[in-house]
């Protein structure tokens, strides 16, 4: 049994569900869960339940491991050697994509980003090519497979394992090339779009920035994040950080509710791997109805408040 | 100030991709463009040179047809181009980065390098990191705001959930550009005419000592992503539609 490392992401001291899905992607392997922040003892039960044979708290002799991406990449490279890993997987979150690319450059190893399916043993991965129009199957010919998995693309399945805890301090220092001067906090408690299990998106038909409150009220009831189409962002109704699609974010939630989104090919590029897509649109001929799962023809200002009330 | 912008020659995002063979696509009948994210890099580079003087050089690794894509960048205000030609439709990101590095070293290393945050064809999001790694330079991706002053670059990038980081680096460095950084200009007719006369140096991968067959990522198969066949429409009054939708999502799909 080959040994696979999984970089665990946490939020408020708990393992993110997206990381559990990444562990499931490596099922059948001896899983080493690598934790960079928080108390591994507190994460132990969950990680053991989903397959971690070992839970390693990662640190660096050169300082706070979470303070800079290059230091964390250096520590991960050391962990790959220390635990003799044949694969290291992470989440294709904003931070995960950045970190794994740094790691791949540092180790000069191939990297498959944003996979939707993975065969760790066969070092083969499936991922989107051409803005979600095609899937590419890539085989990696290297001693170590590095890959990030699209959040929510692989559903987490319990697979109880020992979950023995350990600590590893890598002997690495920050190269000091990039210095984080400041972190500007966005809206507190907002669920990150790329990792959200449910997303409600408002398109041009939302008509004004303040009308997103209507979607936020609905989202709050089901733990969803709120997104926007390019048309809505370009019209100034929403910031670019909320944009789903080409030139915005790629998402793959289990439920995607598009409200007043026409359904341009560039929008689908960012959300077509969602499990279930629902569209609410006034125009019965809107292109989105041809490519989604369930449709309601209606004014979003009539339908959404009723949906919020009944959820 | 010399600025290199790495530009990829990619199918237009609106193009239909027809699969050919196991792992290829019909590229003769579709339109190719500047990778959309790279346009933000070109615009930023041209603006910096307009302000501080210097030159913008477009560097592309791609098929000989990528010449036209470089011309689009030249029409936006870049001075000249370098095209490293490849035969295949796909090239391993590692080899692309090596080719970009070799071409830049041959031409003279720049003070600043731009790329897009990723390419819309292979969506691999890594070439800029590898290029920076090979050159020993700092790299920051998904940059939506940038100031370059006194040998330093200060970049702002979104790190998820609407949070932003402000990162400082010494020049030279590699910046992965994304939407928000600027509004790329639409070249006017005289700019397009002028671009036709600008110089593009061509060399092959082999000229730079790179063997395309040495890539470690093998594309085994390309297949269309299955399209949904059309929505099941939920009819009735708003009350009935919503009630039925919630039932379906809970009971049939189990996603609520």
Tens of pLDDT, residue by residue over B102-127, are: 999 999 999 999 999 999 999 999 99
User: Out of A136, A181, A246, whose CB is closest to B167?
Assistant: A181
Question: Cβ distance A238 to A218 under 8 Å?
Answer: no
Pick the residue from chain B with its C-alpha nearest to A255. Answer: B255
CA distance A304 to chain B (A): 9
Q: Are residues B198 and B230 in the same domain?
A: no
Q: Are residues B53 and B161 in the same domain?
A: yes
User: Out of A186, A243, A278, whose CB is closest to B245?
Assistant: A278
Pick the residue from chain B with its C-alpha nearest to A131. Answer: B120
Q: How far apart are CA B245 and CA B235, in angstroms?
A: 10
- Answer yes or no: do B245 and A192 touch at CB < 8 A: no
- Decide: helix, strand or coil at residue B167: strand
Is the backbone of residue A204 left (phi > 0), alpha (psi -120 to 50) or beta? alpha
Query: For A206, phi and psi rounded to 5 degrees?
Result: -70, -25
Rg over alpha carbons for chain B, rounded to the nearest Å, is 21
Q: Are residues B85 and B179 in the same domain?
A: yes
Q: How far apart are CA B243 and CA A183, in angstroms?
A: 43
Which tokens go with B191? 């700019």
Question: Cβ distance A17 to A156 under 8 Å?
Answer: yes
The answer to whether residue B219 sits within a structural domain is no
CATH number, domain at B44? Answer: 3.40.50.620
A1 pLDDT band (50/70/90 cuts)? low
Which tokens go with B37? 């994210």
Average pLDDT of every residue of chain A:
94
According to the model, what pLDDT value does residue B157 have?
95
CA distance B125 to chain A (A): 7
According to the model, what pLDDT value does residue B160 have?
77
The answer to whether residue B220 sits within a structural domain is no
According to the model, what pLDDT value does residue A187 have?
67
Domain interval for residue B8 = 2-214
Class of domain A193-310 as given by CATH: alpha beta
**Domain residue limits, chain A:** 3-170, 193-310
CA trace torsion A1, A170, A110, B83 (10° rounding): 180
According to the model, what pLDDT value does residue A188 have?
55
Question: Cβ distance A157 to A24 under 8 Å?
Answer: yes
Interface test with B, best of A71, A96, A103, A110 (most B CBs within 10 A): A110
Q: Distances in Å between the alpha carbon of A191 and those of A188, B34, B121? A: 9, 33, 28
CA torsion sign for B145, B147, B148, B152 is: negative
Question: Cβ distance B255 to A276 under 8 Å?
Answer: yes
B234: chain A residues, CB-CB within 8 Å: 294-296
Q: CB atoms < 10 A from the CB of B253, how many?
A: 15
Question: Cβ distance A118 to A25 under 8 Å?
Answer: yes
Q: Are residues B118 and B206 in the same domain?
A: yes
Q: Are residues B151 and B195 in the same domain?
A: yes
Q: Is the pLDDT of residue A220 over 90?
A: yes
Q: How far apart are CA A292 and CA B228, in angstroms?
A: 6
Domain A193-310 in the same topology as domain A3-170: yes
Between helix A300-310 and helix B238-247 the angle, nearest 10°, is 50
Closest by CA to A260, choosing from A233, A225, A298, is A298
- Answer yes or no: do A180 and B249 touch at CB < 8 A: no
Question: Cβ distance B214 to A135 under 8 Å?
Answer: no
Segments of A134-267 assigned E as strands: 134-140, 145-149, 164-170, 179-184, 198-202, 225-228, 255-259
Interface test with A, best of B162, B166, B219, B223 (most A CBs within 10 A): B162
Q: Distances in Å between the alpha carbon of A243 and those of A14, A47, A236? A: 27, 32, 11
Beta bridge partners of B85: B62, B204
Q: How far apart are CA B240 and CA B108, in angstroms?
A: 68
Question: Cβ distance B116 to B180 under 8 Å?
Answer: no
Residue B83, H or E segment: strand B80-85
B126: chain A residues, CB-CB within 8 Å: 101, 104-105, 111, 113
Q: How far apart are CA A163 and CA A4, in angstroms?
A: 14
What is the separation of C-alpha B83 from the centre of its chain, rounded to a whole number of angstroms? 15
The answer to whether residue B221 sits within a structural domain is no
Model confidence over A120-174: pLDDT tens digits? 999 999 999 998 899 999 999 999 999 999 999 999 999 999 999 999 999 999 9
The answer to whether residue B140 sits within a structural domain is yes
Q: Are residues B159 and B245 in the same domain?
A: no
CA distance A164 to chain B (A): 31
The answer to whether residue B240 sits within a structural domain is yes
A20 pLDDT band (50/70/90 cuts)? very high
Interface test with B, best of A130, A221, A261, A295 (most B CBs within 10 A): A130
Which of the four CATH numbers 3.40.30.10, 3.30.360.10, 3.40.50.620, 1.20.58.390 does domain A3-170 have? 3.40.50.620
Question: Cβ distance A10 to A43 under 8 Å?
Answer: yes
Model confidence over B20-39: pLDDT tens digits? 999 999 999 999 999 999 99
Closest by CA to B112, choosing from B66, B36, B169, B156, is B169
Per-residue pLDDT of chain B (256 residues; tens, 9 = 90+): 999 999 999 999 989 999 999 999 999 999 999 999 999 999 999 999 999 999 999 999 999 999 999 999 999 999 999 999 999 999 999 999 999 999 999 999 999 999 999 999 999 999 999 999 999 999 999 999 999 999 999 999 988 777 899 999 999 999 999 999 999 999 999 999 999 999 999 999 999 999 998 889 999 999 999 889 899 999 999 999 999 999 999 999 999 9
Choose from A59-68, A198-207, A237-246 the range with maximum mean pLDDT: A198-207
Q: Is B154 exposed, middle or buried (0-12, 13-18, 19+ CB in 10 A)?
A: middle
- Answer yes or no: do A104 and B243 touch at CB < 8 A: no
Model confidence over A66-106: pLDDT tens digits? 888 999 999 999 999 999 999 999 999 999 999 999 999 99
Between helix A212-222 and helix A300-310 the angle, nearest 10°, is 20
According to the model, what pLDDT value does residue A251 have?
93
Q: Are residues B44 and B136 in the same domain?
A: yes
């Amino acid at each position: 049994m080959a040994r696979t490392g999984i970089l665990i992401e946490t939020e408020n001291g708990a393992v993110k569900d997206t990381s559990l899905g990444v562990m499931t992607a490596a099922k059948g392997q001896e899983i080493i869960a690598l934790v960079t922040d928080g108390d591994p003892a507190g994460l132990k039960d969950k990680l053991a339940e989903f397959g971690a044979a070992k839970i390693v708290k990662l640190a660096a002799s050169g300082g706070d491991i979470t303070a800079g991406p290059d230091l964390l990449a250096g520590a991960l490279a050391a962990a790959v050697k220390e635990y003799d890993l044949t694969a290291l997987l992470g989440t294709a979150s904003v931070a995960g994509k950045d970190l794994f690319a740094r790691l791949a450059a540092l180790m000069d190893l191939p990297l498959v980003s944003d996979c939707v399916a993975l065969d760790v043993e066969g070092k083969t991965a499936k991922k989107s090519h051409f803005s979600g129009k095609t899937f590419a199957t890539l085989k990696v010919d290297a001693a170590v497979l590095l890959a990030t998995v699209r959040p929510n693309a692989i559903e987490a399945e319990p697979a109880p394992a020992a979950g023995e805890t350990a600590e590893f301090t890598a002997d690495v220092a920050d190269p000091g090339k990039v210095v984080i001067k400041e972190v500007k906090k966005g809206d507190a408690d907002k669920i990150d779009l790329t990792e959200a299990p449910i997303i409600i998106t408002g398109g041009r038909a939302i008509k004004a920035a303040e009308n997103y409150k209507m979607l936020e009220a609905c989202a709050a009831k089901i733990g969803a994040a709120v997104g926007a189409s390019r048309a809505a962002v370009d019209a100034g109704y929403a910031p670019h950080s909320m944009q789903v699609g080409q030139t915005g974010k790629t998402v793959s939630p289990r439920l995607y509710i598009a409200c007043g989104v026409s359904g341009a090919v560039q929008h689908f590029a960012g959300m077509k791997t969602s499990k279930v897509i629902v569209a609410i649109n006034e125009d019965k001929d809107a292109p989105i109805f041809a490519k989604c799962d369930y449709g309601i023809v209606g004014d979003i200002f009539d339908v959404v408040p009723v949906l919020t009330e009944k959820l | 100030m010399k600025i290199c912008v790495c530009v990829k020659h990619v199918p237009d995002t609106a193009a239909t991709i027809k699969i050919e063979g196991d792992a290829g696509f019909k590229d003769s009948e579709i339109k190719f463009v500047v990778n959309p994210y790279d346009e933000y890099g070109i615009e930023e580079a041209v603006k910096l040179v307009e302000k501080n003087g210097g030159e913008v050089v477009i560097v592309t690794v791609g098929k000989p047809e990528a010449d036209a894509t470089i011309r689009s960048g030249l029409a936006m205000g870049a001075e000249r181009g370098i095209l490293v030609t490849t035969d295949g439709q796909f090239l391993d990101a590692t080899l692309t980065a090596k080719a970009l590095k070799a071409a830049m070293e041959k031409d003279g290393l720049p003070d600043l390098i731009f790329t897009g945050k990723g390419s819309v064809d292979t969506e691999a999001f890594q070439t800029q990191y590898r290029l920076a790694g090979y050159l020993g330079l700092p790299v920051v991706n998904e940059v939506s705001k940038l100031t370059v002053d006194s040998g330093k670059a200060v970049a702002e990038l979104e790190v998820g959930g609407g949070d932003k980081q402000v990162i400082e680096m010494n020049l030279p460095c590699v910046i992965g550009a994304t939407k928000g950084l600027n509004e790329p200009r639409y070249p006017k007719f005289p700019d397009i005419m002028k671009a036709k006369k600008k110089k593009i140096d061509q060399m092959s991968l082999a000229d730079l000592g790179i063997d395309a067959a040495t890539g470690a990522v093998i594309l085994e198969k390309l297949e269309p992503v299955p399209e949904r066949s059309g929505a099941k429409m939920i009819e009735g009054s708003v009350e009935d539609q919503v009630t039925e939708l919630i039932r379906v999502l809970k009971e049939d799909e189990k996603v609520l």
